[in-house]
Structure 1
Amino acid sequence: MTTHRFILEPYKGIATRHTCPACQRKRCFSRYIDTEKRISFPDHVGRCDHEQKCGYHFTPRNYFDEKPEAKQELYEKSSLYVSSHKIKTTSTSFIDEETVKRSLKCYETNRLYQFLTSKFGESSAMSLMKKYHVGSSKHWDGATVFWQIDRNNRVRTGKIMLYNPNTGKRVKEPHSHITWAHSLLHKSGFNMKQCFFGEHLLAADKIRPVALVESEKTALIASYYLPQYLWLASGGKNGCFNESSLSALAKRSVVLFPDLGATDYWQSKIGMIRNYGIEVQLFDYLENNAPESERKEGYDIADYLLQIQPDEAVLQTMNRKNPHLKTLIEMLGLELVNVQRNSS
């Protein structure tokens, strides 16, 4: 007998098992359903069957945290109060600092570090890794750990990813290389509650406006080029748009830099963000001007910034290839002459 309203869809053949949004494995993802058939959850609300290798689990509670208006609608439409034993409220789990410290090495084999070094030099690349507490993992040869450390310096979790050292792109073949530190550490009952990547920087810097992007890698790259902002990452299009995460940005000035294709979704969140006392703006120039080829590739601001070189002649060449680059540079107030500078 079902005792919970929201449950993982029972197995009724391969049509009830889907592709995991995190690891991209097929027929291993179970979606949550509403036994009262009043709510249809988005496709990313569910759990991956590969608990050790992937560990992705986006619960109905995560969904309602992300969309408080949906929770309110639930109460209005249903006479049944969703009690605490149905959507459990449990304490946030953390990872000990020693685990993080042990990962802050082996950068010479870290593929993301290799890519950043090729673009910015060893000193600046190392400064970025240390500033954001980016670690290395042996799970895949040359993998990177993006530790999520909140504003109270507590480690929420770590996202492990693998990059191509030459292109800086994620390795997606033969499968998407992404997993979670708490899964590899075999922490049973771990209640992951994500925070912004780079959130730990907020406490020490209360002046600079915050710039929010999707990708952790993009936050690193943009921090190098545009240090007038404090760069954080949401970890994805849907990430961290909830009360617990947004509270960290209360009374801050925030500029949103969504990936191409995600602008409308992030635009829809502005009202909710402002409800938390956040002064927010949306940078939509790229969305309004990018060619179709760049949209298909899902470009973000880092893809444009990486085209900028300190050599003015090279920059002029890039401007001819991409006429929007000059406008982008002027809008962001980027200093071209002194682009090779310390990222802190």
Structure 2
Amino acid sequence: MKEVKSKSTPTEPMKPTPIGYVPIHYVEKSKSVQSNFFRFLSILLGNYYGSKSQEVLNRLLDEYRLGATRDGAVIFWQIDKNGKVRTGKVMQYNPEDGHRIKEQGVAINWIHNILKKQNVLPEEWLLSQCLFGEHLLSLYPDKVVVLVESEKSAIIGSAIFPNYVWLATGGKSQMKEDKLRVLSGRTVLLFPDADGYTEWKQRAESMTYCKAIVSDLLEKHATPKQKADHIDIADWIIIQIQEGKLMSTANHLVEAEKILQQMIEKNPVLQKLIDELDLVLVDASHIASDDKSPP
């Protein structure tokens, strides 16, 4: 008896999961300075920049599209490189010290979840996160990128050191290649939280698609208590401002730049190396100016 072979149906290639987007008008509608986080930011920058702080605050509001809810929570919108809105993270902060409120009943919320409950987005809508601030990459194609963990760190870092593009992963677990690939070809400085240096250093070794350097600032200089408190670069900058040491840090940058320039003058080969490696000297002199003028 002749064996009849069943015809196998060719396997169809899996279709990529469609990325869910949030209508852009929700970003525009939510734009506000009325969040407790923005209130803290206003006080912090007011103490640092004085009357010139409003210029910086306006830039941060516009560039990062900061929103607010009716109860004073801030909305950190995730907008990708194409200007598409992936979601918004809703968080409540203490307006006095800038710390996130983690009490029971004050959890992180997400705009896509809110819109699903309101039947604005379909139940099958799928979240695909991107880096916070990712949309700024196309706005500043030549700036060095600074990657941090929290959105708060990105905002405060950008406020004080605007010569960089400050982005945030949104969490230690969000250091994923599919999110980081957008950094291809860029020079990236990674500032992990005080408890994340080893993990981020290992992760950076696989980021071969960009020039990644991991900062050991907190690893080397944070106190044992600060490490136990899991401080991040935003906390460090705030401490430096409050203790009047940020100017000293900036002066060190300026001095380092002067020394490097002197080395270049004495050794032209060093300039050739800088050119070939596409290294950039960041002018830090404006940071150390006496009037703290926003760059």
Normalising by structure 2, we get a TM-score of 0.75
Equivalent residue number for residue 263 of structure 1: 197
Task: State the alpha-carbon separation in 2 of the partners of residues 339 and 132 from structure 1.
Answer: 26
Matched to 2:62, the amino acid is K
Partner SS state of residue 281, structure 1: strand
Matched to 2:159, the amino acid is Y
Task: State the alpha-carbon separation in 1 of the partners of residues 241 and 213 from structure 2.
Answer: 28
Equivalent residue number for residue 97 of structure 1: 24
How far does the alpha carbon of each residue in 1:29-52 deviate from its partner, in whole angstroms, 9 at most, with x for none?
xxxxxxxxxxxxxxxxxxxxxxxx
Pick aligned residue for 2:129 from 194, 202, 208: 194
- Is contact 1:120-1:340 (8 Å) kept? no
Task: State the alpha-carbon separation in 1 of the partners of residues 291 and 66 from structure 2.
Answer: 23
- Is contact 2:144-2:189 (8 Å) kept? yes
**What is the number of equivalent residue pairs in this alignment?**
242
Deviation at 1:326, TM superposition (A): 4.6
Equivalent residue number for residue 252 of structure 2: 330
* Residue 136 (str. 1) matches residue 68 (str. 2): yes
Equivalent residue number for residue 88 of structure 2: 158
Matched to 1:218, the amino acid is S
- Is contact 1:160-1:180 (8 Å) kept? yes
Matched to 1:282, the amino acid is V
Instruction: Decide which structure has the larger Cα Rg and report it.
Output: 2
- Is contact 1:215-1:235 (8 Å) kept? yes
Distance 1:214 1:278, change over 3 A: same
**Where does structure 2 lack aligned partners over 5 or more consecutive residues?**
1-11, 47-52, 255-283
Percent identity, aligned pairs only? 33
Normalising by structure 1, we get a TM-score of 0.65
Partner SS state of residue 208, structure 1: coil
- Is contact 1:214-1:236 (8 Å) kept? yes
Matched to 1:342, the amino acid is P
Distance 1:164 1:101, change over 3 A: same
Deviation at 1:262, TM superposition (A): 0.6
**Where does structure 1 lack aligned partners over 5 or more consecutive residues?**
1-82, 320-324
Task: State the alpha-carbon separation in 1 of the partners of residues 290 and 152 from structure 2.
Answer: 22
Equivalent residue number for residue 260 of structure 2: none
Task: State the alpha-carbon separation in 1 of the partners of residues 291 and 198 from structure 2.
Answer: 32
Structure holding more helix per residue: 2
Which structure 2 residues correspond to residues 176-255 of structure 1 after superposition, within 5 A? 176-186=106-116, 187=121, 188-243=123-178, 245-255=179-189
Distance 1:329 1:190, change over 3 A: farther
Pick aligned residue for 2:233 from 279, 295, 301: 301
Matched to 2:82, the amino acid is N
How far does the alpha carbon of each residue in 1:131-178 deviate from its partner, in whole angstroms, 9 at most, with x for none?
10111123xx10010000000000011000000000000001124431
Between 279-288 and 150-159, report the one with greater CA deviation.
Answer: 279-288
Pick aligned residue for 2:206 from 251, 264, 272: 272
Matched to 2:236, the amino acid is Y
Matched to 1:114, the amino acid is R
- Is contact 1:223-1:230 (8 Å) kept? yes
Task: State the alpha-carbon separation in 2 of the partners of residues 151 and 172 from structure 1.
Answer: 31
